């Protein structure tokens, strides 16, 4: 029986992510530990797509996943329509999305190249789903804002760019899509860049990379396009692989919100939580708020053993040299002290279908604590088209405004522009438990004096259970008479 001949190298098309195949030798031993170590060593980039409806966001992401070998075989089969791949179906997974040909919910996808790992959020473009876009972009480090070369800049394109800048996303790619419909005309690209760049400058965007591409045809997505020789920049994937991913949270002061006090026995007391920003090491002097006591970090405890240092966004348990009264919701910090204030000014993106009610009951979820709050006033609403302030008394769904809030107890924070981890919050409707808004703290403000009437209204509102019905007469005069009887002893005439 003849000896088996040595097999030729095998063509493995999954090994390269530039649309090219790479040959591998089956005789070479595959070291799983080495592979996992290499994967672990890769850095991670979170990015999101945004823009107006039908600008081609889902098609771009589908093309990127396909050409970068980041889509699975079963996903590709389900995306075939009429013998060709409909790239938008690789991310639009809901039945309603496929039927209507739009993106409704945020679709998260994970893929990797030999250089980097990625988590992308494909967000909807319709104005009514702006709140979904805000949610998907809240954790991103890079935003791809799409412009349609055949239609130009739309209101929703500016809205999403504005919200992305509000969320503190440091890197932008302005992808001028559908260049094939514009005949790959250089003048179209330069005209849109000239129109959109001043708007980004007004938003304070410092890192914006303008890129002409065609998601449908694959031009400048993974490889440089031969149809646009006039463009001398890099492809989309190349820019995603090379953009700086150093998180700004590492450069910020150390902040950790306590989620739980760990006390398994009399010999151990630790404070568990997620590091929101900065770096901590054993021996560091830290401040506990609201007590104002200082101590020294003794150990950084994890399941895998003690660490010589820990940084955001790790979840750890700290032990301190001194016994300090610390509980859930407290802040442990070092460096410049966080601001402590009950009254603050914040920018909010309103999510709820029910408009903001200045007399409503709300809660703020900030770091690891939930605090009752009052929305004192709407300072102004932002006009997305002009960025001008408009005087209003409420905010409707998907509107953006600056408000003044007073909390029942102090919050410990840095302004959102300086520290995303401790400058963000969500506003919750106390009666429905719905997420009413996402907020970004601007600064602390001086608390206004609360009138006796306002205090009475607030306390009465707080005393009424959420699902209780107040049985007052329909006639106002009879209702006032009944309330006066109820408040006898509380009312004093001066």
Quick: pLDDT tens for 380-391. Answer: 999 877 888 999
The answer to whether residue 205 scores a pLDDT higher than 60 is yes
User: What local confidence, expressed as pLDDT, does residue 98 receive?
Assistant: 43
User: What local confidence, expressed as pLDDT, does residue 452 receive?
Assistant: 63
Strands (E), 395-454: 400-413, 424-429, 435-444
The answer to whether residue 7 scores a pLDDT higher than 60 is no
CB 403 within 8 A of CB 350: no
Tell me the pLDDT tens digit for each residue of 260-314.
999 998 889 999 999 999 999 999 999 999 999 999 999 999 999 999 999 998 9
**DSSP readout, 429-443?**
ETTT--EEEEEEEEE
User: What local confidence, expressed as pLDDT, does residue 108 receive?
Assistant: 82
Most confident of 37-51, 68-82, 319-333, 451-465: 319-333
Overall CATH class of domain 249-333: mainly beta
Tell me whether strands 400-413 and 369-382 are parallel, antiparallel or unpaired: antiparallel
The answer to whether residue 25 scores a pLDDT higher than 60 is no
- Using CA atoms, how far apart are residues 146 and 294, in angstroms rounded to an integer? 49
Name the residue among 261, 277, 270, 262 with its Cα closest to residue 310.
277
User: What local confidence, expressed as pLDDT, does residue 74 receive?
Assistant: 66
199-202 long-range contacts, Cβ below 8 Å, gap at least 24?
A: 199/158, 199/161, 200/161, 200/165, 200/172, 200/174, 202/387
The crossing angle, in degrees rounded to 10, of helices 186-203 and 155-166 is 40
SS3 state of residue 319 = strand
Reported as a pLDDT band with limits 50, 70 and 90, residue 88 is low
Name the residue among 214, 235, 224 with its Cα closest to residue 60.
214
Q: Is domain 339-444 annotated with CATH 2.40.30.10?
A: yes
Domain chopping of the chain, boundaries: 32-246, 249-333, 339-444
- Any residues with CB less than 8 A from the CB of 34 and at least 6 apart, and which? none
Q: What is the mean pLDDT of the chain?
A: 83
Q: Is domain 32-246 annotated with CATH 3.40.1800.10?
A: no
% helix, strand, coil for the chain, step of 5: 25, 35, 45
- Beta carbons within 10 angstroms of residue 204's beta carbon: 9
SS3 state of residue 358 = coil
pTM: 0.77
SS3 state of residue 113 = coil
SS3 state of residue 75 = helix
Phi, psi of 192 (to 5 degrees): -65, -40
Tell me whether strands 389-390 and 369-382 are parallel, antiparallel or unpaired: antiparallel
More reliable by pLDDT, 18 or 186? 186
Buried residues in 440-476 as b, exposed as e (16+ CB within 10 A): bbbebbeeeeeeeeeeeebeeeeeeeeeeeeeeeeee
Please determine whether the domains at 32-246 and 339-444 fall in the same fold group of CATH.
Answer: no
User: What local confidence, expressed as pLDDT, does residue 65 receive?
Assistant: 84
Query: Which residues face 301 on adjacent strands?
Result: 317
The answer to whether residue 359 scores a pLDDT higher than 80 is yes
Q: Which helix (H) or strand (E) holds 452?
A: helix 452-463
**DSSP readout, 201-225?**
HHHT---EEEEE-BTTTTBTTSS--
- Any residues with CB less than 8 A from the CB of 452 and at least 6 apart, and which? none
């Amino acid at each position: 029986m003849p000896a088996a001949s040595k097999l030729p190298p095998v063509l493995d098309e999954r090994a390269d992510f530039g649309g090219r195949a790479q040959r591998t030798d089956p005789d070479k031993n595959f070291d799983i530990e080495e592979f996992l170590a290499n994967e672990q060593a890769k850095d991670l980039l979170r990015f999101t797509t945004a823009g107006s409806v039908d600008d081609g966001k889902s098609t771009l992401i589908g093309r990127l996943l396909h050409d970068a070998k980041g889509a699975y075989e079963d996903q590709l089969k389900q995306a075939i329509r009429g013998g060709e791949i409909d790239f938008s179906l690789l991310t639009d997974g809901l039945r309603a999305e496929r039927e209507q040909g739009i993106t409704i919910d945020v679709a998260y996808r994970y893929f990797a190249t030999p250089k980097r790992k990625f988590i992308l959020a494909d967000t909807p473009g319709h104005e009514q789903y702006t709140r979904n876009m805000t949610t998907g972009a809240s954790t991103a480090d890079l935003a791809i804002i799409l412009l349609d070369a055949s239609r130009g800049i739309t209101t929703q394109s500016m809205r999403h760019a504005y919200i992305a800048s509000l969320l503190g996303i440091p890197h932008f790619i302005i992808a001028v899509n559908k260049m094939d419909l514009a005949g790959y005309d250089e003048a179209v690209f330069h005209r849109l860049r000239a129109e959109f760049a001043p708007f980004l400058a007004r938003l304070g965007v410092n890192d914006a990379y303008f890129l002409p591409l065609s998601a449908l045809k694959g031009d400048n997505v993974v490889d440089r396009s031969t149809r646009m020789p006039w463009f001398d920049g890099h492809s989309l994937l190349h820019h995603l692989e090379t953009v700086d991913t150093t998180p700004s949270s590492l450069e910020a002061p150390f902040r950790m919100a306590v989620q739980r006090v760990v006390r398994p026995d009399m010999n151990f007391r630790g404070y568990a939580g997620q590091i929101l920003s900065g770096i901590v090491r054993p021996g560091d002097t830290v401040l506990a708020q609201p007590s104002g006591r200082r101590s020294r970090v003794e150990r950084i405890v994890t399941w895998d053993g003690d660490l010589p240092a820990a940084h955001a966004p790790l979840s750890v348990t700290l032990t301190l040299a001194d016994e300090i009264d610390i509980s859930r919701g407290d802040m442990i910090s070092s460096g410049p002290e966080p601001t402590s204030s009950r009254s603050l000014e914040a920018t909010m993106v309103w999510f709820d279908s029910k408009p903001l009610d200045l007399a409503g009951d709300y809660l703020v979820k900030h770091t690891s604590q939930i605090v009752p709050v009052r929305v004192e006033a709407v300072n102004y609403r932002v006009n997305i088209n002009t960025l001008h302030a408009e005087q209003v008394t409420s905010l409707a769904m998907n509107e953006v405004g600056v408000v003044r809030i007073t909390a029942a107890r102090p919050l410990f924070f840095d302004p959102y522009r300086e520290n995303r981890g401790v400058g963000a919050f969500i506003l919750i409707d106390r009666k429905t438990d719905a997420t009413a808004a996402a907020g970004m703290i601007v600064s602390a403000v001086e608390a206004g004096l609360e009138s006796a009437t306002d205090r009475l209204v607030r306390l009465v509102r707080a005393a009424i259970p959420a699902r209780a019905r107040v049985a007052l007469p329909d006639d106002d005069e009879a209702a006032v008479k009944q309330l006066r009887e109820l408040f006898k002893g509380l009312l004093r005439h001066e």
